[in-house]
Amino acid sequence: MAAVAAIASMVYGQTVAHPRLTDAPTVAPCTVQGEWATPAEKNCYATTPDYAGTMAYLKRVQVAAPGQVKIEPFGKTGEGRELDIVIASRDGVFDPAAIHAAKRPIVLVQNSIHAGEMDGKDACLALLRDMVITRSKASLLERAVFVFIPMYNADGHERRSRYNRINQDGPQEMGWRGNGTNLNLNRDYLKADAPETRAFMAMFHRWLPDFFVDDHVTDGADYQYDVTFTIDDGPNLPTATAKWVDDVATPTLERYVDEHGHLASPTYITLANDNDPAQGLGFNDNPPRYSTGYMILEGRPGMLVELHMLKDYKTRVTGNYEILSGLMELVNRDADKLIALNAAADREAETMGAHPLSNVKYPLALAWGGQTTPFLFRGYKYTRELSAVSGAMWVRYTHEPWSVSLPAQTGYKVTAEAAAPAAYIIPAQWTQVVDVLAAHQVEMTRTMAPWSGTVETYRCAGMAWQEPPFEGRHPTFNGEAQHDPGKFGSCVLVREKLDFPAGSVVVRLNQRLSRVAMAWLEPAAPDSAMQWGFFDSIFEQKEYGEAYVLEELAREMMAKDPRLKAEFEKKVTSDPAFAGSPQARLEFFYERSPWYAANRIGLYPVGRLSNLDGVPVAK
């Protein structure tokens, strides 16, 4: 076979070698900046410091600027490393309650959640220095408070190797994507399996920032941009906040980055077809397993920063520095507006359960709706060849600019929604489900006595579980693929009389975290407890009928119900698989009997309450 079977199409330009596959990463020329150069700067961005080196530099800054910088622990990793935030405040006020009372906006930046993508960490070290040591960026603390997590996935950060990210150009060694138990923390925000996630939630709600940033490095296509970013603006974000994001924040940050020596894209670049860039850009779904998707539930703007993997490390770190600088400038300028938007979002969330059920619809599962918008894509010319290795088209990028208008998939389509109840009631025995809500600091009360009542709930059927595992579980959705309710099965709203023991949990939706509660407790929501497998046991049959018993039952049922007999006979003649399975033929009758109904298979145990009348809970 020839090395290349055929050339299917070509955009002219000579292809270039992938920089990550060379012996050493690209190292850009640099000038070391004296005693306060960051560890990355001292090595001309060839390296990034390890955990100890990072914290040593930060502690030096804290000692040099004690009235403006504080390092504060907020938990430990699974391997026992301390998790820290670094706070930069112009006047030495480090108490979040006092900062909020003074109407000063808080920006929280998270770094190294994927610890091979540590660019934001080194950018934050340099920005902190320039805020409080060189003071060239001191104005960024005029009103805003800068808080950052240097190494969120600290365990993955220390699993260092030059072979951790084949796609990335530098530094020489980098951390690992998963945490100490190989969980991807940026798929854990709603289910909160990891100790890091639970520590984050406690810290986040103590600080309740006004703007959140999650710093990353891309995978995917090659293109001219070195800084790509996106700020969620979908239907679950309050309308006024989404308008500020679209009309003010996004264009302001794009312009700032471009004016400071970098090239920004105000959208995270995902190709609709990885083997054919000309087909345009795909849609980025962002359910609350992700950090910025979770921020939507909190009613806070959240920005995903993605530096381009194939740019050298200096370009990436300084690009991250500039977008954070631009954000701090914007937050200082729009402080009153941003604080007011967040307060309005909180008030909206607190009233969700106060409305009649028919008046409030809450969109739960989002998917792209097939709309496209022209997007000026600044890419590179490329060739496409039919590969003799993979048998697929092989895209090889050049470094010759290719700027072209491409269709970008945009717009949201609501694929599932639910009316907001006044409250949920969760039986006391479902402790893991309740523990997750507690980790999110959702307000809950418990019943003081047993209670039985007719409630709204769901009957679910047709579930299918993913193989192999995804993030340590076998969810009912398809891993990284876009949420598809059709693969989830179906849950139909019903009214049932259910029993709730003393100590059952009542979650009122008159609280700020009402969206978090709904996203966790509504089965069709893309990252609900149901979809992550917390309720799998309700689909297990525990009582069975022996064949000789069911033989008698089947005859009795057909004798009493001729229509049932006709239905059975039709299925036997029309369904060969059914006809050939003695077990299926007997189960046909068992599933239509009162004995099967008593199994309550697929009956969701959580109740939806329109009011709390008669429920033995403190008012």
**pLDDT tens-digit series, residues 440-467:** 999 999 999 999 999 999 999 999 999 8
pLDDT, tens digit, for every residue of 218-240? Answer: 999 999 999 999 998 878 889 99
Calculate what percentage of the chain has a pLDDT beyond 90.
81
Which pLDDT score, from 0 to 100, does residue 284 have?
81
When pLDDT is cut at 50, 70 and 90, the band that residue 478 belongs to is confident
4-351+377-411: CATH architecture: 3-Layer(aba) Sandwich (3.40)
| CA-to-CA dists, residue 617 to 396, 422, 440, 510, angstroms | 64, 14, 22, 15
Residue 79 predicted with pLDDT over 70: yes
Whole-number pLDDT of residue 6: 32
- Over range 584-604, report the average pLDDT: 91
In the predicted model, what is the mean pLDDT of residues 419-439? 96
pLDDT value of residue 279? 94
Q: Is the CB of residue 245 less than 8 Å from the CB of residue 237? A: yes
How much is the average pLDDT of 47-57?
98
Q: Mean per-residue pLDDT for 282-302?
A: 92
pLDDT surpassing 50 at residue 327? yes
Helix residue ranges, H only, 334-447: 335-350, 431-439
Q: Where are the domains of the chain?
A: 4-351+377-411, 419-541+601-609, 547-597
Q: Residue 562 corresponds to which amino acid?
A: P
**Average pLDDT of the chain?**
91
14 or 409, higher pLDDT: 409
pLDDT (average), residues 554-564: 97
Under the banding of pLDDT at 50, 70 and 90, the label for residue 370 is low
493-541 pLDDT tens trace: 999 999 999 999 999 999 999 999 999 999 988 899 999 999 999 999 8
CB atoms within 10 A of CB 193: 20
**CB half-sphere exposure, 144, CA atoms < 13 A:** 32
pLDDT tens digit sequence for 153-196: 999 999 999 999 999 999 999 999 999 999 999 999 999 999 99
Query: From the CB of residue 592, how many other CB atoms can be counted at a distance below 10 Å?
Result: 17
CA distance 169 to 14: 20
Q: Contact, 252 vs 329, CB < 8 A?
A: no
> Residue 349's closest CA among 173, 208, 469?
208
pLDDT at 424 over 70: yes
Q: How far apart are CA 20 and CA 490, in angstroms?
A: 45
The per-residue pLDDT for 358 is 42
Q: Who wins on pLDDT, 290 or 596?
A: 290
The helix/strand count (H/E) of the chain reads as: 19, 17
Instruction: Please report the beta strands in 56-118, taking only residues with DSSP state E, as ranges in sequence order.
Output: 69-76, 82-88, 106-110
For the chain, what percent of residues have pLDDT higher than 70? 91
Q: How far apart are CA 532 and CA 476, in angstroms?
A: 7
Query: At residue 360, does pLDDT exceed 60?
Result: no
